[in-house]
Structure 1
Amino acid sequence: MQPELIIAIDGPSGAGKSTLSKLLARELGYVNIDTGAMYRSVALAAKRRGIDPIDEKALAGLVRSVRIQFLRASEGERVLLDGEDVSGVIRTPEVSLLTSRVSACAGVRRAMVDLQRELGTRGGVVLEGRDIGTVVFPRADVKFFLSASATERGRRRYEELRAKGLMVELEQTIADVEARDAADSARECAPLVQAEDALVIDSTALSIEEVLQAMLREVRRKKESSHPESAA
């Protein structure tokens, strides 16, 4: 039996990481670990408790006190924060921007990295985020870096939010994406950096299905190169 792979998907906000990690995990029969949702949940908890996003001690304590779970439901995967379904509220623009500040806290990232490694170390997992292939699992079996222009990513996020009934402006949504890019790339702790051995996929002009098929081809290539006898 072939060993199960650890697959890392990194990239900026709005590049399609969450959607594609779920689809890829489903195709492979793997577990999808949405690391971005973990950080978003902590950011939401900090907002609700009035914790300053620069108070590292309070944030680190918060991570240790909350419970984050992923549940597979008929309508898709759900994210629970202390038992409450927060799948929708953690995707709002306000929480998105706060997440970038909270995730820059070294104490938060250390606690999250430990948890992510614990969840994924046995393989058979797809993890997505901004530092999976560089920090969390630098020796991941397959690494992807998804990208797209800020304008295209902003348009996608705008349509997603409008579909959920949120009143947002396209120009402001694009500006929010650009601000998130700048914050993620400039932070001192685990900044957004492309792993040297990652396969880069620019999805600006590609459909979700086209990107998914490109990822599946790379995973199959990796499996066949690791076990050439299985390709015979």
Structure 2
Amino acid sequence: TGDMYRALAWAARQNGIDPEKNPEALTALLPGWELRYRLLDDRTLQLFFNGQPIYQDKLRAPEVTAIVSQVARIPEVREWMLERQRECSSLGVIIMEGRDIGTVILPQAKFKFFITASPMERARRRLAQSGEVAADATLAKVAAEIEARDHIDSTRETAPLKPAPDAITLVTDGMNQEQVANHLAEIIKKSLT
């Protein structure tokens, strides 16, 4: 669901809106916008904004990353998003990730995991994902940005970042995606047997 907030941050930029200085301009546009995931023929999900697919290059752009927390902390935006995010669960058996899935979006979910890693580990992953070389100065800067976003997200009034009381916390430092997925699958298998 983070990509959904990123899509709104991208749309805010496209419309010349600064969500921190003028959140009302953003919320005024929400009724005319459509944002939803669609299940494609290959059984993957694609995010669409106003009927057009929106891809990771736009969603992960630095200028979007810089304002996504500002967009996400606007109560009217979170309210508008809630229905759209819950709609995702109607697409079938689904694995959802996001900062408030287990606490706000789907508190009734059978399995809830709070997956985290240190800011430095997350900075390494972000730089690797973007193909950048992880120089110490760059790594420290990205880690500081991640810590700042975590602070904003965990202290906001509306849907703060926190684990659900019944979530299993997994710290993933030193693990790759496959190892994380296998670990979670084992936990699920054990609970189903």
Q: Which residue of 2 aligns with 1:151?
A: 120
Q: Does 1:80 align with 2:48?
A: yes
Unaligned runs of 5+ in 2: none
Q: Which residue of 2 aligns with 1:109?
A: 78
Q: Specify the SS of the correspondent of 1:142.
A: coil
Q: Among 42, 59, 66, which residue is 2:33 paired with? A: 66
Structure 1 ranges of 4+ moved more than 4 A: 71-74
Matches within 5 A, 1:106-185: 106-121=75-90, 124-162=93-131, 169-185=138-154
Identity of aligned residues (%): 36
Deviation at 1:174, TM superposition (A): 1.7
In the alignment, the residues of structure 2 paired with residue 78 and residue 115 of structure 1 have an alpha-carbon distance, to the nearest angstrom, of: 14
Deviation at 1:150, TM superposition (A): 0.5
Q: Which residue of 1 aligns with 2:12?
A: 46
TM-score w.r.t. length of structure 1:
0.71
Contact 1:53 1:59 in 2 (8 A): yes
Deviation at 1:145, TM superposition (A): 0.5
In the alignment, the residues of structure 2 paired with residue 176 and residue 66 of structure 1 have an alpha-carbon distance, to the nearest angstrom, of: 29
Contact 1:93 1:176 in 2 (8 A): no
Which amino acid in 2 is paired with 1:89?
K
Residues 75-106 of structure 1: CA deviation (Å, up to 9, x unaligned) = x7543333153321211232112111100000
How many matched pairs?
186
Unaligned runs of 5+ in 1: 1-34, 225-232
Range moving further from structure 2, 117-126 or 202-211: 117-126
In the alignment, the residues of structure 2 paired with residue 142 and residue 47 of structure 1 have an alpha-carbon distance, to the nearest angstrom, of: 36
Q: Evaluate the alpha carbon distance shift between residue 121 and residue 73 of structure 1 in structure 2; reply closer, same or farther with a 3 A threshold.
A: closer
TM-score w.r.t. length of structure 2:
0.85
Q: Evaluate the alpha carbon distance shift between residue 80 and residue 114 of structure 1 in structure 2; reply closer, same or farther with a 3 A threshold.
A: closer
Contact 2:99 2:162 in 1 (8 A): yes
Which amino acid in 1 is paired with 2:26?
L
In the alignment, the residues of structure 2 paired with residue 49 and residue 173 of structure 1 have an alpha-carbon distance, to the nearest angstrom, of: 27
Residues 159-188 of structure 1: CA deviation (Å, up to 9, x unaligned) = 21235xxxx932322221111111111211
RMSD: 2.5
Higher RCO by CA contacts (8 Å cutoff, separation 6 or greater): 1
Deviation at 1:131, TM superposition (A): 0.6
In the alignment, the residues of structure 2 paired with residue 105 and residue 189 of structure 1 have an alpha-carbon distance, to the nearest angstrom, of: 8
